[in-house]
Amino acid sequence: QVQLVESGGGLVQFGGSLRLSCAASGPTLDDYAIGWFRQAPGKGREGVSCISKSDSESDYTTWYGDSAEGRFTISRDNAKGTVFLQMNNLKPEDTAVYYCATGCSVDYVNSHGSWGQGTQVTVSS
């Protein structure tokens, strides 16, 4: 299975921005839909955003959860084998460990996919 590595997390102030990256160790990400998920302390893992694998060079389908719509942007650079999550206008409630995975739902990833190790995002008020 593909191994995923996230980076780009950190501490940011209310209203700030971060860009998370998800790269593959081993096989490339080209053949996978990639999802971003997050898990806050004491809460379940939730979907944040997902991007399909491409049928052509620039043809992707994207999905955003309610909390991400209008503030986060997912993109992928297959040449670099990386998927990005640009997060703008961050709020304290965005504080969580963020994971990328090969799939767009928690159930699917748990059954068939791979999780990264996670990267901490902390937003101060």
36-72 confidence digits (pLDDT tens): 999 999 999 999 999 998 766 667 899 999 999 999 9
Check residue 47 and give its pLDDT: 97
Judge whether 49 and 105 are in contact, CB under 8 Å: no
Judge whether 38 and 98 are in contact, CB under 8 Å: yes
Using the predicted structure, report yes or no on whether residue 25 has a pLDDT greater than 80: no
Beta strands 10-13 and 82-87 are unpaired
Q: Which of 111, 106, 113 is nearest to 39 (CA)?
A: 106
Q: Is the dihedral of CA 104, 105, 110, 111 positive or negative?
A: negative
* Burial (0-12, 13-18, 19+ Cβ within 10 Å), 116: buried
pLDDT in tens, 91-124: 999 999 999 999 999 999 999 999 999 999 999 9
Check residue 1 and give its pLDDT: 75
